[in-house]
Amino acid sequence: MKICDLTQAYAETSGGIRTYLTEKTRYIRERTGHEHILLIPGNSDSVRTTDRVRQYTIKSVPVPGCKPYRFMYRLDKIIKILENENPDIIEIGSPYVLPLAVFRYQQKHACIVIGFYHTDFPDAYVATFARRFKFNHMQSVARKSAERYARYIYNKCDSTVVSSNLMIRKLRSMDIERVHTIPLGVDPETFNPVKRDPSLRDAIGVRNEEILLLYAGRLDNEKRIGVLLDAFNLIASQFPGKLALVGDGPQKALVQAHAQINDKLVVLPYQKDRQLLARMLASSDIYVTAGPHETFGLSILEAQASGLPVVGVRSGAVPERVNEAIGIVCDVDDPRSIASGIMELALNGYKSRGKRARLIVEKEYSWDATFTRLFRLYTSLLDHED
């Protein structure tokens, strides 16, 4: 079987979708005899082949205000690669123009097309864009237009995959058919409490008795970095520890500006090294996030695997990952609610909740389980086609 993945959400400092594709490539290499073709954006055209995996980088233009992401617009180039590779399965990881190339290819070539709904773009991007630029009267219209486009794209796919129960309900509400839920996974050996490293805490300037809050991910409005900063500023003077933000993105300058006037705020670079990221998580005490548009919450799962309780918000798939036994969920876009949640967890059993979170991850989540279910879906669709 030859599987082809296409996505725009792949860059040197990108997050969950890149992790998913990296783990998928590993699974194909180690557990199957299949081939994997990956089409991603970059600053020049190139191709790299290693052990049944071929990665095509397609020269693409930067997306304004969304560093480091690039827009893949060269549909003719994509179609030519598909024609040369002739994949059995094509999985679309981005909903914008890539599906148009895939559907054009599919008109002349027999293959299965799957859409993976990684990003809730009608709310996370389209409606948010309208709200950010004060087009409040256009939010509903913009969202409905995006939902119509989503319905068109995903109903043309042979199947659509989502990773949370929230998303299957949402797609069904948009009249999108043939939806399957396949939760994402985590590597519990890499993300593990045993990776805790006192020397790393020392380097950040956090004493053993202090509490280290950590956020790891994109620094942008979608993740509500400004809200998280406002929440921490409300409690910084009384909080017995520090907040570290690990990542890169359009709002990095904002984070650095806050750090210049708040010595309890630490800014750390994006970590491509998964082992070092695992050490950072295990060396922290509480994971914090204010993002309301998570379709699964992979960074949350990695934090929980590292033995951390989580403070999140009551939106997206976060409530599926976090409950009162393993963390706290707060009100969306409400710095006071988030600040209160952080203080409550810091003062009331954060260690025991982190241990329970680790036990749940060990029992319920793994990448092998994710890809076993995904490849079972692939096989069933190919068998049905025959």
Average pLDDT over residues 349-373: 96
Task: For residues 36 and 116, state if they share a domain.
Answer: yes
Q: What does the mean pLDDT of the chain come to?
A: 93
* Residue 231 DSSP class: H
- Domain match, 293 and 370 both: no
Helix%, strand%, coil% for the chain, nearest 5: 45, 20, 35
Single out the residue of 68, 126, 67, 64 nearest to residue 95, CA to CA: 126
Domain range for 81 is 2-185+366-385
Same domain, 169 and 199: no
Question: Distance (Å, rounded) from C-alpha 69 to C-alpha 11?
Answer: 6
Compute CA distances 56 → 11, 14, 33, 43, 77, whole Å. 13, 17, 20, 12, 10
Q: Which tens digits make up the pLDDT trace of 103-149?
A: 999 999 999 999 999 988 878 777 666 666 555 667 778 888 889 99
H helices present in the chain, as ranges = 16-31, 75-85, 98-106, 121, 128-132, 139-155, 165-173, 198-204, 225-235, 252-261, 274-282, 298-305, 318-321, 335-347, 350-364, 367-385
Do 27 and 49 belong together in one domain? yes
Query: Do 165 and 252 belong together in one domain?
Result: no
Q: Give the model's pLDDT for residue 136.
A: 61
Span 39-64, average pLDDT: 94
Percent of the chain with pLDDT over 90: 84
pLDDT score of 132:
62
Per-residue pLDDT tens over the stretch 87-104? 999 999 999 899 999 999
Q: In terms of domains, do 174 and 199 share one? A: no
Q: What angle do CA 67, 70, 73 make, to 5 degrees?
A: 155
Whether residues 304 and 381 fall in one domain: no
Q: How far apart are CA 243 and CA 254, in angstroms?
A: 15
Residue 185 · residue 141 · CB < 8 Å: no
Of 95, 81, 87, 77, the closest CA to residue 9 belongs to 95
Mean pLDDT along residues 374-384: 94
For 56-76, the pLDDT digits (tens) are: 999 999 988 777 789 999 999
Please tell me whether residues 346 and 381 are part of one structural domain: no
Helices (H) and strands (E) in the chain, counts: 16, 16
Residue with tokens 């329970």: 356
CATH number of the domain where residue 263 is located: 3.40.50.2000
Total structural domains within the chain? 2
Calculate mean pLDDT across residues 161-170.
94
110 shares its domain with 242 = no
pLDDT at 137: 65
Output the pLDDT for position 15. 78
- Secondary structure letter of residue 52 according to DSSP: T
**Same domain, yes or no: 205 and 169:** no
CA 43, 17, 115, 294 torsion: positive or negative? negative
> How far is Cα of residue 376 from the mean position of the Cα atoms in its chain?
23
Verify that 201 and 170 share a domain, yes or no: no
- Give the range among 218-232, 345-359, 372-386 with minimum mean pLDDT: 372-386
Vertex 185 angle, CA 86 and 222, to 5°: 90
325 and 176 together in one domain:
no
pLDDT score for 128: 67
Integer Cα distance of 196 and 190 in angstroms? 12
DSSP class of residue 117? -
